[in-house]
Amino acid sequence: MPQTGTTRIWRFGQCPAGNAFADAFTLETGPVPAPGDGEVLIRNEYISLDAGTRMWITPRSDGYQPPLPPGVPMPGLVLGRVVESRAAGFRAGDLVRGFGRWGDHSCVVPAMAALNVLDDTVADPRQHLGVLGMNGWTAYHGITETGRTRPGETVLVSAAAGATGLLAAQIARNMGCRVVGLAGGAGKCRMLVEDFGLDCAIDYKTEDVEQALTRIGGGIHVYFDNVGGPLLDAVLPNMAHYGRVAICGLVATYAAEGATPGPRRFDQVLMRRLSIAGLFSPDFAHRGPEYNALLQPWLRAGRITLPFDITTGLENLLTAYAKLFTGGNVGKVLVKLT
Amino acid sequence: MPQTGTTRIWRFGQCPAGNAFADAFTLETGPVPAPGDGEVLIRNEYISLDAGTRMWITPRSDGYQPPLPPGVPMPGLVLGRVVESRAAGFRAGDLVRGFGRWGDHSCVVPAMAALNVLDDTVADPRQHLGVLGMNGWTAYHGITETGRTRPGETVLVSAAAGATGLLAAQIARNMGCRVVGLAGGAGKCRMLVEDFGLDCAIDYKTEDVEQALTRIGGGIHVYFDNVGGPLLDAVLPNMAHYGRVAICGLVATYAAEGATPGPRRFDQVLMRRLSIAGLFSPDFAHRGPEYNALLQPWLRAGRITLPFDITTGLENLLTAYAKLFTGGNVGKVLVKLT
């Protein structure tokens, strides 16, 4: 059945300075695309906003990938339903997740979009963009593989009230670790301890983090870091010997177009025989089913969850996106399409 | 048989500024010590000088260990012969290696000095302080375990004309890797290629290292780093994806009493999913016999060697020591006692 009507899309224009995202994108209206042979047309229900995408619009040649060319529709992870499929394995009505577009619809080639048909029985399907999706897998991989975390160890998580951080903290807690969170503001810190069972939380906005961390007996065995920057400086001299640092994100430096200062206490890598390693979700996305085999029972049993920070309306997307870089969110930032 | 006569020892006085080692040590003469129960008296034949010991005389609380207290005889790795033993397992005349003193003699408790009776049939016994000793083990461990080097990979080594670097480069070469050395001066670079079979060498004193490294196709899989500092900045953006950096030393920063700038291109850890890890020889010294099972046949077959930079006379030790921090040496710096 050919599609009729109009659809909207956020088109990338130029790299923004800092968080001035309104200078970078324009919302355009056009006809709903007709899927070509091998394509799937999706009505987006939720758009996942992720800090890592900031790199796609930063003019540097040494990021994950070159910046997007001006003029392209902005790509992003979406959750939605198939409207029309001209690709094998997808049928109208299927609940799907994949790399689509910041728009009302996504028209994709499944293999290029990492498109999956999802379990439609999950109580809150948004968790396919949370516990059971890229954030959950990144948290699981970073804690278990990059961080080589063992039960009983002390795990520190930065941006602990953010989507990946909150999941990493809960996974470590479920493994029997002592878990300390770094977050901005007393409200977030209280939530981490009272609602998510962390052992303690440090408000980096008001506390001297390096000093506060010295009170953790035995040092930090694993630091799951989403931030980099001055917090990493505060953590390195508080790591336990043979500790592991999983660099999941460096959000403190994503907007920088040139080099940023390195960790001042890098010498502790040698003195304490630390390991520091980066992780990047596309590298292990193929292991999602393996990770969900653990995460889904935990989700059902109430042993892990992820709250959502929902903004309604595609037209309000940029306001939601900015939250990722200002600490304005708790949990997963999603745009709900109406 | 009680010892008679006098012996000399370098006593540590105060932490030096930079390489002003004459301000830090005094050469004292006293009676030869008589070994107590459980002790071994050694006549030192060679004293091993090692850059890592610079940390022992730097006033900082977050190094490998606290700085030495003023007034102690300077410890160091020595090769010598037992003069008198009052400890089980050691006999007069045994060739031994262990942590003794910068002096004519060392009087030690074997277990505390990691004292070993050595294979007296090795053609050049000085290799017990080279290929078959701490430098060899560190090079082997750093290349194979920390660096997880595989045959055919590209391995870059800094301070490649120094003791550990030269051994790391040869081990990687013997594994079938492409090996690139960083060294200071055309003479050292020529030696690395012509005498030690490296694929190429870059003179960091005259070349733009970051630029030169871009000419290595495929990037660097393993960086065996003895130096840190600006060379690490030049290397990180030239690493291959999933590359490993083995931090063996940070000699560029050892004399610093406060924090030194971190690697400016630290973000590449995330962008290229690098692993960076420190290694420290006492952690794996117990594996020396295992490593020597490979290194000794290579040494016999002429597939690995280490040249020595010999200074004769205990009284000239400080001049030899300074070479480690000024790039003045090729290979292993030893003081030969007369």
Spans of all domains in chain B: 6-130+306-336, 134-282
Cβ contacts below 8 Å, chain A against chain B, sum to 105
B228: closest CA of chain A, how far (Å) = 9
Place of tokens 């502790």: A268
**B264 → closest Cβ in A64, A233, A259:** A259
Distance CA A266, CA A274 (A): 10
| Interface touch B261/A261, C-beta < 8 Å | yes
* pLDDT tens per residue, range A22-56: 999 999 999 999 999 999 999 999 999 999 899 89
Domains B6-130+306-336 and B134-282 share a fold: no
Classify A6-129+307-336 by CATH class: alpha beta
DSSP of B258-275: S--PBPTTTTHHHHTT-E
**A270 → closest Cβ in B237, B265, B278:** B278
Contacts of A64 in chain B (CB under 8 A): 271
Compute CA distances A17 → A51, A141, A255, A317, B8, whole Å. Answer: 15, 32, 7, 18, 66
Which residue from B minimizes the CA distance to A146? Answer: B275
- Residue B33 sits at φ, ψ, to 5 deg, of -70, 150
The 3 state secondary structure assigned to B160-205 is CCEHHHHHHHHHHHHCCCEEEEEECCHHHHHHHHHCCCCCEEEECC
Classify B6-130+306-336 by CATH class: alpha beta
Per DSSP bridges, beta strands B95-101 and B75-85 are: antiparallel
Contacts of B261 in chain A (CB under 8 A): 261-262, 264
What is the enclosing helix (H) or strand (E) of B120? Answer: none
pLDDT (tens, 9 = 90+) of chain B, 338 residues, equals: 445 789 999 999 999 999 999 999 999 999 999 999 999 999 999 999 999 899 899 887 777 778 899 999 999 999 999 999 999 999 999 999 999 999 999 999 999 999 999 999 999 999 999 999 999 999 999 999 999 999 999 999 999 999 999 999 999 999 999 999 999 999 999 999 999 999 999 999 999 999 999 998 899 999 999 999 999 999 999 999 999 999 999 888 777 766 678 899 999 999 999 999 999 999 999 999 999 999 999 999 999 999 999 999 999 999 999 999 998 889 999 999 98
Residue-level length of chain B: 338
Which of A270, A274, A281, A283 best tests the B interface by mutation, with the highest count of B CBs <10 A?
A270
**A325 SS3 class:** helix
- Residue A271 sits at φ, ψ, to 5 deg, of -65, -35
Instruction: Kindly indicate the confidence band of residue A61, based on its pLDDT and cuts at 50, 70 and 90.
Output: confident
Right CATH for A134-282 from 3.40.50.740, 3.20.20.80, 3.30.43.10, 3.40.50.720: 3.40.50.720
A140: closest CA of chain B, how far (Å) = 17
For the entire predicted model, the pTM comes to: 0.91
What is the enclosing helix (H) or strand (E) of A237? Answer: none
Give the residue numbers in B contacting A (CB under 8 Å), as ranges.
62-64, 228, 233, 237, 247-250, 253, 259-280, 283
Q: Where are the alpha helices (DSSP H) in chain A?
A: 110-113, 134-141, 163-174, 186-194, 209-214, 229-235, 268-271, 288-300, 317-326
Contacts of B62 in chain A (CB under 8 A): 237, 265, 267-268, 271
Contacts of B268 in chain A (CB under 8 A): 62
**B250 → closest Cβ in A228, A259, A270:** A270
Place of tokens 């291109």: B265
| Interface touch A270/B264, C-beta < 8 Å | no
